[in-house]
Structure 1
Amino acid sequence: MTLETVLGEPALFRIDDPSELPADLTLRERRLLVGAVNFHALMAPGRTLTLHCYGGSWETLPRTTDDSTFTGMSRTFRKRLFSFGATSVVLPEVRTHIPAEAIARELAATSVRHLHISSDSVLEFDPPRDVSPDPVRRVLRAIRSKTPLLYDEARDLALLRHRGSLTTPAPRRRYDAEFRPGGIHAESEIVVAPQAPEAAPRAVIVGLHWFELGGAERWAFESVRLIREAGFLPIVLTNRDSHQPWIGRPELDGALVIPFSEPTSRSQTSGVEELLRALLSTFDVRGVVVHHNQWLYDRLHWIARSRPGVPIMDSTHIVEYRGGGFPLSSVLVEEVISAHHVISPTLARWMVEVQNVPPEKVVMAPLGGLTVQIDEPEFAERAPGAPLTVAFVGRMARQKAPEVFVNMVHRLRGVTGLRFIMHGDGELASAVGDIIASLGVQDRIERRDSHIPVTRTLEEAHLLVVPSHNEGLTLTTLEAVEHGVPVVSTDVGAQRDIIPERALVPRGAHAAVRALARLVAALAVDENARRDLWIDERDAERTLLARQTANDWFAQEVSKW
C-alpha cells in the first residue's frame, strides 16, 4: 500500500484523470473532497469508483460518508457539478464473511458514489443546525426569540430526568454480552482486524467532534500537531455533520482526514467495523485518542479486541447536565481506556469519586499553552471617564447561553457608563439577533464574529461575563485573566476552580440574569473591587497552570508509542 498525495493532501486513492476535477477548489473544499474519497477508498479496497459531486446551498451540509453517499438516495444530490474516477490503493482483505455483513457488503458493492462538498461561500452564513422545515420547531424557535429565559428554564425542567449521572456511578458497557443470544448484536459476531503489513506507516487514530471553533477543538487540533511531530501519521475522524470551517487549519497538514456525515449505520456492521478494520489492516496503529467523538467511543471495545495493548486515551472537558455527555461516554467504556485526560480538578473528582474510575487512570492536565501567553499580565485599567466594556466571548450555541447575556444587557438599560460586546458566531447567531431586536438593545450591543481576533476584544474589555448553562473550564476565562480582565460567571462545571464565590451566580436563566446584572453594576462603580477580583483569579490561574500542562503530558505519552 502506498499513501498517495492528491491535490496536495494524503490520500488512499489515485485520480484516474485529474483534468476531470475543478481547478479552483479551495483548501477547505479539497480536504472535504479528499477526505470523503479516502473513506470510500477504505470501504472499497482495490476498486475503481465513479464519484459524482453535487452542489447545494448554505442549508445543505456536506454528505461525505453517510449511507446516502452509496445510493444517491437523498434530495441533496440534485445538482451535479462534476464527476471523476478514482482507484483505491488500499489492499483488499481476503477472509470469510459472516452473514451479518450482507447489508453492508451490498451497500458497498456498487461502483458509484455520491458526494456533496459545500463551497466556501456557505461560511458567510450561520451554520444551518438551527434551521428546520418542521413547523413545530419553527414555532419553538419563535417562542425562544420572544421568551428565551422561559424557554431555557422549561428545557432545564425537561432535562432533570437525565441528571442522575452527576451523582450516581454508571454501569460499564458489557461488549461481549451484546453478541450473545438476547444481546443487541446477537445476529452478528466479533471479527477482529488482521495485522497490518510489516512496512505499514505508523499512525494514530484521532476522533474529533467536528472541525469547528471551540475550546475543546483547539486542544484536539493541538494534539494532532503533537502526534505528527512525534513521527506518526494522524488519522483524523470527525462524526458530527458540519460545513467544517476549520478543516483547512495548518495542524491538519500531512494528516489523513476523514470528515464524517451521519448516519453510517448500514455501512458499518457491529463486530466487523468495515472502516476501522480497513484502517487497522492498512496502518500500523500505535494509539487511539478520542476528543468528543461518540462514533469512536462506541467502537473502542472492538479496537481493544483487535489490537490488545494499544494505548487508548480520551480527553474530556465538561459533565453535561443532560445525561453526562462525553465524560459519561468515557466512563461507560473505561475498562478499555488507558488514560482519561481531564482539564480541571472538578472533573477529575467526578471521575474518581462519583464514577469510581481508578485514580491512576485519571490525568488532570490543564490546557495551558493554548491561550496567549503574557509574561507579566497587568490589570486592565479603565481610563478616567471611559465606559466599562463588558464582553461575551463564545460560540452562539445554547450551552454558552448568549440569551442570558442579552437579557442582562436589557436589565442594565438604565445604568450609564457601560459598553457591551458580543463576540462569536454559531448556529444561534441569527436567533440571538432576533432576541436582541425583540428586547430593543440593538444600539447597546456591538456584535463581532470570528473574522475579528478574540484578542482584540479582550484588549478592549474590562470585564468578561460567562453566562453559560454548562461548562468545563473555559479557555476564554484563562485568556481574559491573562489579558488583565476579571471574569464573572454562572456557577457551572469547573469555573469555580478559577473564579471566587463572590463572582459566581446561579445557572438558572432568570436568576443568572438578575445576579449578573447586579455584579456588573457593582463592578462598574468600584474599580478596587474589580482589581481585587482579577488578582484573586490571577492567583488561582497561576496555581492551576503550575501543574503539568496537557501539551507536556500528551507529548510525553505519545513519545512512548
Structure 2
Amino acid sequence: MPFEVLDESCVGLVENDGLLDDRERRLVVGAANFHALAGPGQTFRLTVLRGPRGTMPSLTDDQTRRIEWEDDREVVGSLVFRSSVHTTADAGSQDKLVDLAVDLGGEPEVASAYHQLNGVLGKVRRSVRFFAPVQFDVLRQYRTDMTERRYRRHDVPRKAPVRISRGASANPHGDTPAILFGLHWLELGGAERFALETIQLAKEAGFLPIVVVDRPSTHPWITRPELDGAVVVPLSHPISPDQESAFLNGVLSAYDVRGIHLHHSSWLVQRLPWIKSVRPEIPVIDSLHILEWRTGGFVDISVRMTNVIDVHHVISPMLRDYLIGRQGLAPERVKLATLANLTTGGIDQSGPVSKDHDGPFTVAFVGRFTQQKRPYLFLQLAAELKSSAPGPVKFIVHGDGELSSEVHGLIARLGLSDVLELRTPARPVADTLADADALVISSDNEGLTLTSFEATAAGIPVVSTDVGSQASLIAEDLLCSRHPYPFIKTAAQRIRTMMISPAQRKTWLDEQAAKAEAFAKLPDARTWIRDTYQGWLP
C-alpha cells in the first residue's frame, strides 16, 4: 500500500476486525490509496461514513474535502495515515494534516438507468419502458437501424499525436515494476472477467497491478482474489484537475510503470495524451469487446485516441475488420486475440450431444439482467414456447442485475412460475449448462459472448441474435434477427424443431462445434497478454 496507518486504533478499518465487511474495507483502502498517491508525504485523517441502501460510494471526488454530510450517513470510524509516496515537490507537506470524509455508500445494489430519468419525459419513458418492454424495444431497434446507417457514413475524428520522444517528467520513478490498469467498474461482466484475468497474469509475471476504476458502482467484485496484493483505486467524480494530475504523478513517481492496459476505461483513456507527454515510452494496450451502434462506445473512443495507443486488442474478427477496413487503422497496430478458452476450464468439454428426455426440454438464459441482454425478450419467448411447444418444456433464467424486479414481475404476469427456475450468479454456470438442452442469447448487441464458448464446451446448441461477431460461433440457422418479434418467431421455431428432431439438433450443434474449433485456432488472448507482459519486464 502507498500509505502507513499512524493510529493503531484505526487499523481495524483496513484489517479484518468485523467493523466493516470485506467490500467496505477494500473501499476504504482504495480511497486511502488515491489520496496517498495524490498527496505525497501528507498525513490524512479519513472520517469513514456509511450510506443507506441504494447510495454510491464517494471516495475521491471533491465532496470528500467537506467535513459535513447528509443526515442519513452513519459515521463508522476514523483512519489516520501518512502517504509513503515522495516526490521532489513534497518537502514540508508532512507537517499538514488533511481532513477528508469518505462515504462507502450502501449495500451493493443496481438500478436501471431508466429509473434515474428526470422530469415529465423521464416519467413517460419509465412508464412505457416497464409496462411494455418488448414494444418499447421495437422502437429502440428501429432507432438503432437509423443510427447505424448514418453512423457508417462517417469517420471517427482523431486526437492529434504526441510527437515528443523524451518526456518532461521532473520526478524519478520508483523501483517496483507495475502495470497501470483502467477498468469500467468491478461488477459482473465479460470485459471485467477478462480484465481480472490480465491482472492475475500481471501478478504472475512479477508486476504490481495498479487498478483504476472510474464508473459509479458499489464494486461488489472488489473482493475478488485476483485483486489481492494490487493497488486498487475506485474513483468517484468529479475530481478537481489538480487532484487528477497529482494522482497520476504519484503513480508514476511511486512505481516503475512499465505499461498501461485499458479495459473500457473512459477516464484513463482521456488522459493518455498527458501521460504520453510525460512518459512517452510507456506502451499502451486497449482491449475492445463490443461496438455500440447508438454511441460508438469504447471502440470509437479508442479510434479517436489511436495516436496515443500502441496496440488495439480486439476479441473478434468483426472488430478487427471494423478498425482496419472501416476506420483505416494500420493492421500491425490491431491485434486479434480471442477469449475462446477464458471461461471454459471448469466445464466438461465432452458434453453430451443428446440428453435424456424423460423430463422436459430445458431452455436456458445466462446473463446479466440489463437492457443489453434483454431478459424480458427471453421471457416472452418462454411464454410463446409454453403455449406452442410439442412437448413438456422448462426454462432456467440464470443471472441478476438492474432489471431484476422487472424479471420477477414478468415471470408472474406471463404465467411462467410453474415452468421457470431462477438461479443467481452464486450458482456455477456449469450447473445450468449441464441441465440445459438449448441456450438462448437474446441480446440487442454483443461482441462475442463468453457463454457461447461455454455452451459449446458443454455440448449445448445456442440460439442467438445475429449481432456483433456471433456469426463466428453460432450455426447459421440458429442466428435470429435482433428485432423483438422476428427474434421470438424464429427462436421458437428452431427450439420446437430441436424438440422433435434430435438429429437436427445434433446437426446444428456439430456446425457450432466446428466454428468453435476454427475460432480456437486464432491467437489466444491469454497467451498473447502473457507474452506481452513478459516483454515489459525491466
Superposition TM-score, scaled by structure 1 size? 0.87
- 1:36-55 map, 5 Å: 36-55=31-50
User: Partner of 2:154 in structure 1?
Assistant: 168
Q: Distance in 2 between matches of 1:443 and 1:139?
A: 33
1:20-419 matched pairs, under 5 angstroms: 20=10, 21-22=12-13, 23-24=17-18, 25-71=20-66, 75=70, 78-94=73-89, 111-118=98-105, 122-123=107-108, 125-126=109-110, 131-132=115-116, 134=118, 136=120, 137=122, 139-159=124-144, 162-163=147-148, 164-166=150-152, 168-174=154-160, 193-197=169-173, 199-264=174-239, 266-268=240-242, 273-373=245-345, 377-414=350-387, 415=389, 416-419=391-394
The offset of 1:438, in angstroms, is 2.9
Match of 1:432 among 407, 418, 435: 407
Q: Quote the Cα distance in structure 2 between the aligned partners of 1:407 and 1:80.
A: 46
Does the C-alpha gap of structure 1 residues 162 and 239 become closer, same or farther in structure 2, counting only changes over 3 Å?
farther
Question: SS of the residue aligned with 1:479?
Answer: helix
Distance 1:72 1:143 in 2: 42
Q: Is the 8 A contact 1:56 1:76 kept in 2?
A: no
| Residue 452, structure 1, aligned to residue 427, structure 2 | yes
Contact between 2:45 and 2:97, CA under 8 Å: does it hold in 1?
no
| CA spacing shift, 1:468–1:46, aligned 2, 3 Å | same
Contact 2:273 2:308 in 1 (8 A): yes
Q: Given that residues 130 and 428 in structure 1 are in contact (C-alpha distance below 8 angstroms), is that contact kept between their aligned partners in structure 2?
A: no
**Equivalent residue of 2:372, what SS?**
helix
Q: Find the counterpart in structure 2 of residue 188 from structure 1.
A: none
Q: Which moved more, 1:430-439 or 1:488-497?
A: 430-439
Displacement after TM superposition at 1:292 (Å): 0.5
Does structure 2 conserve the Cα–Cα contact (< 8 Å) formed by 1:53 and 1:117? yes
Paired position in structure 2 for 1:423: 398
1:322 Cα offset (Å)? 1.6
Asked if the contact 1:194–1:281 (Cα under 8 Å) also holds between the matched residues in 2, the reply is no
The whole-number CA distance in structure 1 between the counterparts of 2:350 and 2:473 is: 16
Which of 11, 16, 28 is 2:6 aligned to? 16
Alignment: residue pair count: 520
Q: CA distance change for structure 1 residues 133 and 69 in 2, over 3 Å: closer, same or farther?
A: farther
| Residues in 1 aligned to 2:162 and 2:69: alpha-carbon distance in whole angstroms | 35
Letter aligned with residue 456 of structure 1:
D
Task: Please say if residues 368 and 549 of structure 1, whose CA atoms lie closer than 8 Å, have aligned partners that are also in contact.
Answer: yes
In 2, distance between residues paired with 1:394 and 1:112? 42
* Deviation of 1:372 (Å): 2.2
User: 1:31: how far off?
Assistant: 1.4
Does the CA contact (< 8 Å) of 1:523 and 1:529 recur in 2? yes
Offset at 1:267?
4.1
Contact kept in structure 1, 2:45 and 2:79, CA below 8 Å: yes
Q: Which amino acid aligns with 1:262?
A: H
Aligned-residue offset at 1:26: 3.1
CA distance, structure 1, for counterparts of residue 338 and residue 71 of structure 2: 42
Distance in 2 of aligned mates of 1:443 and 1:73: 52
Please give the TM-score of this superposition, normalised by the length of structure 2.
0.91
CA contact (8 A) 1:132 1:138 kept: no
Gaps of 5+ in 2: 91-95
Q: Which residue of 2 aligns with 1:3?
A: none
The alpha carbon displacement at 1:77 in A equals 7.1
Say if 2:212 and 2:234, in contact at 8 Å, map to a contact too: yes
**For the Cα contact (< 8 Å) 2:344–2:453, is it kept in 1?**
no
Worse-matched range after superposition: 416-425 or 367-376: 367-376
Matched residue SS, 1:247: helix
- How far does the alpha carbon of each residue in 1:380-407 deviate from its partner, in whole angstroms, 9 at most, with x for none? 4221432111000001111111111011
1:31 alignment partner AA: R
User: Aligned partners of 2:117, 2:154: CA distance in 1, in Å?
Assistant: 38
Instruction: Could you tell me which runs of 5 or more consecutive residues in structure 1 were left unpaired when the two chains were aligned.
Output: 1-10, 96-108, 178-190
CA RMSD, 1 decimal? 2.5
Q: Percent identity?
A: 37
The amino acid across from 2:445 in the alignment is N
Q: Deviations over 1:26-85 (max 9, x none)?
A: 332221110111111122221111211111222011111122222257648732221221
SS of residue matched to 1:262 = coil
Aligned to 1:4: none
Residue 134 of structure 1 deviates from its aligned partner by 4.1
Cα distance in 1 between the residues matched to 2:349 and 2:364: 22
> How far off is 1:547 after superposition?
2.0
1:502-532 Cα shifts (integer Å, max 9, x gaps): 1111111222222222222222211111111
Letter in 2 for 1:140: R
